[in-house]
């Protein structure tokens, strides 16, 4: 298997803004020993988890060995009501409409309930709106069409909570609706027969992070328990894994537990459709992990919802015919290829438009072309965020003088709040902090851009320009071996709210540098006696790197022609400290210059003032000096200030003296 290009773009050095992690408060030796021995984790991995807030042995073990899910009936007040209504539908062989969404979460949710209901005797029908013709969610026309076909029970998956007009119409037509949704709960609840929503579970519930497919799985599991028939739940768990990862749901609570249960079995799924997708993706059975789902399987499913008919995916994930499954999977493959070509073409146009405006980028990147495809502009907007580290919106024509947009933003810029601030200029809008969408009249675009620029400029002034590089733990290349890799795998699965760790290594020597086809950068690096290869995807930076560099990276296992080797997947690089040994430390809006001078640590600010401290006085785990010895002399009184103490610890970290 070749490297899967699953990483973000590696930005040029000049556009990177390194933000080293804040120093951890010193642990008592007994506490440190307890955590190391209790978990068996290497120091660097323990450091990552401590920085993420897992500070007790109990929290760490819950992450490494997630507890079983509690009984869902205690968390979802309407679950029993929903299950009993579906039991009657199965016993009476009723037609039931499963009303899903056209993204991977909605399509897998639909297929999950379709498969379980078919096995238990109901006659389910998939009803998913068209992205281009209908837009998102349940609508009045769908309700009327389904009621006209004699369907008296609808189950929404991954939508419905905000479809007030459609639900009012369903009530008028005496059509019962079971809502399962994870989007924002409205102030006024629409009519419904039963509702499953993670936000309505008790505070601290492990079900709080469920995506649409997770709610469908809860409902399906309750139905299977009612019939004492578990035969469909293995397949339902397969689809839960696909939809949860594709929807970027947080990998916490029951999401993490069920992924730990389901991912090891996913490569051996009994679903012919998943087997066909896996084959066309070039994945072996033992390679279907969270990364493979997120970057190989899910895009092929999502491409259908973006460019084609979502019913294709529902049939793919419910058919029992391997030949039909392969035929449908090939259609997914074709649409995914078209999706990639469209994205590349639109990205090239977007970059050309930005270049035409000169070297200065606006704080908020807003670009519009009426011929762009609605289904993929969100992907391209995300690519611009990766490249430039600032929020971006791409607008495509919608007819009648209106444009429809997809918005993406870096961490820290709240898309939903920004759109709310601009509500008076928009026809409609929605989203969450990282992404959103809106419709706007063409004559309002200039005023909208001006307002968004003001918001983004304020944010950039506070945040700093450029793409933020945020490593979590210092790691020496010599520490990277199969043992470390196996320990890292204990932290999987990785995803939203639990990303793969970003490590950094200082003063690495560049022995080889190659620019591969596609613009990918390949390096051979050494540090001490260790040598490792590194990959930087879609490199747009310097043709010749400095001889000594610092690198930030995720660790990956590359399989090629029957061989496996550990490699670094670069997320950032910069020139290493020069002979002076001085390293730049950025902390919020301030810049400091740090160096080691014998047994002293020297930190200088922009005004030229210096703080000097004996290294032996810094109480840091892993400090590469005698941290238990007494300071040689009195310290500057200012060192007792919490900000200064933290600054000095972080300066030691920046110099590679601590993790």
* pLDDT exceeds 60 at position 159: yes
For 523-566, the three-class secondary structure string (H helix, E strand, C coil) is EEEEECCEEEEEEECCCCCCCCCCCEEEEEEEEEEEEECCEEEE
* pLDDT exceeds 80 at position 390: yes
User: Cα 89 vs. chain centroid, distance in angstroms?
Assistant: 37
* pLDDT exceeds 60 at position 79: yes
Task: Name the segment(s) of the chain with CATH classification 3.10.310.30.
Answer: 361-461
Choice among 134-148, 400-414, 421-435 with the minimum mean pLDDT: 134-148
Are 349 and 369 spatial neighbours (Cβ–Cβ below 8 Å)?
Answer: yes
128: exposed, middle or buried (C-beta count within 10 Å: 0-12, 13-18, 19+)? Answer: buried
Choice among 120-124, 301-305, 367-371, 604-608 with the minimum mean pLDDT: 604-608
CATH match for 74-335 among 3.40.50.300, 3.20.20.210, 3.90.1640.30, 3.40.1390.30:
3.90.1640.30
Please state which CATH class domain 1-21+470-576 belongs to.
Answer: mainly beta
* pLDDT exceeds 80 at position 136: no
Q: Using pLDDT thresholds of 50, 70 and 90, give the confidence band for residue 430.
A: confident
Cis before 493? omega within 30: yes
Q: Using pLDDT thresholds of 50, 70 and 90, give the confidence band for residue 110.
A: very high
* pLDDT, tens digit, 9 for 90 and up, residues 241-270: 999 999 888 999 999 999 999 999 999 999
Which of the given ranges, 375-389, 443-457, 638-652, has the highest pLDDT on average?
A: 443-457
Q: Using pLDDT thresholds of 50, 70 and 90, give the confidence band for residue 183.
A: confident
* pLDDT, tens digit, 9 for 90 and up, residues 23-42: 787 778 888 889 999 999 99
Are 536 and 545 spatial neighbours (Cβ–Cβ below 8 Å)?
Answer: no
What is the pLDDT of the chain when averaged over all its residues? 88
- Per-residue pLDDT, averaged over 613-619, amounts to 73
* pLDDT, tens digit, 9 for 90 and up, residues 456-501: 999 998 888 888 899 999 999 999 999 999 999 999 999 888 999 9
What is the share, in percent, of the chain residues with pLDDT greater than 70? 93
CATH match for 361-461 among 2.60.130.10, 3.40.190.10, 1.10.3720.10, 3.10.310.30:
3.10.310.30
Q: Is 440 strand, coil or helix?
A: strand
Q: Give residue 617's pLDDT.
A: 72
Residue count (the chain): 659
Q: Give residue 301's pLDDT.
A: 94
DSSP 8-state class, residue 28: P
Q: Give residue 651's pLDDT.
A: 83
Q: Give residue 562's pLDDT.
A: 67
Task: Name the segment(s) of the chain with CATH classification 2.40.50.460.
Answer: 1-21+470-576
Q: Using pLDDT thresholds of 50, 70 and 90, give the confidence band for residue 578.
A: low
Q: Is 21 strand, coil or helix?
A: coil
Task: Name the segment(s) of the chain with CATH classification 3.90.1640.30.
Answer: 74-335
């Amino acid at each position: 298997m070749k490297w899967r290009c699953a990483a973000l773009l590696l930005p040029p050095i000049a556009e990177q803004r390194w933000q080293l992690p804040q120093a951890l408060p010193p642990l008592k030796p007994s506490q440190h020993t307890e955590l190391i021995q209790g978990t068996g984790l290497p120091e660097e991995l323990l450091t990552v988890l401590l920085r993420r807030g897992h500070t007790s042995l109990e929290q760490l073990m819950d992450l490494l060995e997630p507890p079983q899910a509690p009984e869902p009936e205690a968390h979802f007040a309407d679950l029993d009501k929903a299950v009993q209504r579906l039991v009657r539908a199965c016993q009476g062989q009723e037609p039931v409409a499963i009303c899903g969404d056209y993204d991977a979460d909605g399509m897998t949710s639909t297929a999950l309930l379709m498969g379980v209901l078919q096995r238990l005797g109901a006659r389910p029908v998939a009803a998913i709106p068209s992205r281009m013709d209908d837009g998102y969610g349940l609508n009045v026309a769908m309700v009327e069409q389904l009621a006209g076909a004699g369907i008296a029970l609808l189950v929404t998956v991954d939508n419905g909570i905000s479809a007030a007009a459609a639900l009012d119409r369903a009530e008028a037509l005496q059509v019962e609706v079971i809502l399962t949704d994870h989007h924002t709960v409205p102030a006024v609840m629409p009519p419904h027969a039963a509702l499953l929503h993670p936000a309505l579970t008790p505070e601290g519930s492990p079900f709080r992070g469920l995506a649409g497919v997770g709610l469908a799985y809860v409902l399906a599991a309750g139905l299977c328990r009612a019939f004492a028939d578990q035969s469909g739940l293995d397949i339902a768990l397969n689809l839960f894994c696909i939809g949860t990862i594709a929807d970027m749901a947080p990998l916490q609570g029951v999401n993490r537990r069920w992924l730990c249960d389901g991912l090891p079995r996913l490569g051996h799924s009994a679903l012919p459709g998943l087997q066909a997708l896996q084959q066309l993706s070039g994945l072996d059975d033992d390679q279907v992990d969270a990364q493979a789902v997120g970057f190989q399987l899910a895009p092929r499913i999502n491409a259908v919802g973006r460019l084609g008919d979502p019913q294709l995916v529902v049939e793919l994930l419910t058919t029992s015919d391997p030949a039909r499954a392969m035929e449908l999977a090939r259609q997914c493959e074709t649409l995914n290829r078209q999706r990639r070509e469209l994205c590349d073409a639109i990205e090239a146009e977007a970059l050309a438009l930005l270049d035409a405006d000169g070297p200065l980028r606006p704080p908020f990147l807003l670009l519009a072309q009426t011929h762009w495809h609605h289904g993929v502009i969100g992907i391209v907007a995300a690519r611009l965020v990766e490249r430039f580290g600032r929020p971006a919106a791409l607008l495509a024509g919608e007819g009648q003088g209106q444009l429809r947009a997809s918005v993406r933003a870096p961490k820290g810029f709240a898309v939903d709040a920004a759109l709310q601030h601009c509500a008076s200029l928009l026809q409609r809008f929605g989203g969450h902090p990282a992404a959103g969408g809106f419709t706007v009249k063409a004559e309002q675009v200039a005023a909208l851009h001006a307002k968004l620029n003001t918001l983004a400029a304020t944010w950039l002034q506070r945040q700093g320009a450029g793409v933020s590089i945020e490593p979590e733990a210092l790691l020496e290349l010599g520490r990277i071996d199969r043992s470390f890799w196996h320990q890292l795998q204990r932290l999987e699965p990785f995803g939203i709210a639990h990303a793969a760790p970003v490590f950094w290594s200082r003063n690495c020597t560049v022995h080889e540098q190659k620019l591969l086809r596609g613009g990918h950068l390949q390096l051979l690096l050494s540090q001490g006696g260790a040598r490792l290869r590194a990959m930087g995807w879609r490199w747009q930076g310097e043709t010749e790197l400095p001889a000594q560099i610092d690198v930030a990276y995720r660790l990956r296992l590359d399989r090629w022609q029957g061989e496996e080797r550990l490699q670094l997947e670069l997320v950032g690089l910069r020139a290493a400290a020069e002979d002076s040994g001085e390293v730049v430390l950025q902390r919020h809006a301030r810049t400091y210059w740090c160096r080691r001078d014998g047994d002293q640590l020297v930190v200088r600010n922009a005004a030229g003032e210096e703080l000097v401290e004996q290294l032996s006085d810094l109480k840091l785990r892993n400090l590469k000096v005698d941290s238990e010895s007494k300071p040689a002399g009195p310290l500057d009184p200012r060192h007792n200030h919490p900000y200064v103490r933290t600054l000095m610890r972080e300066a030691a970290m920046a110099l590679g003296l601590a993790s």
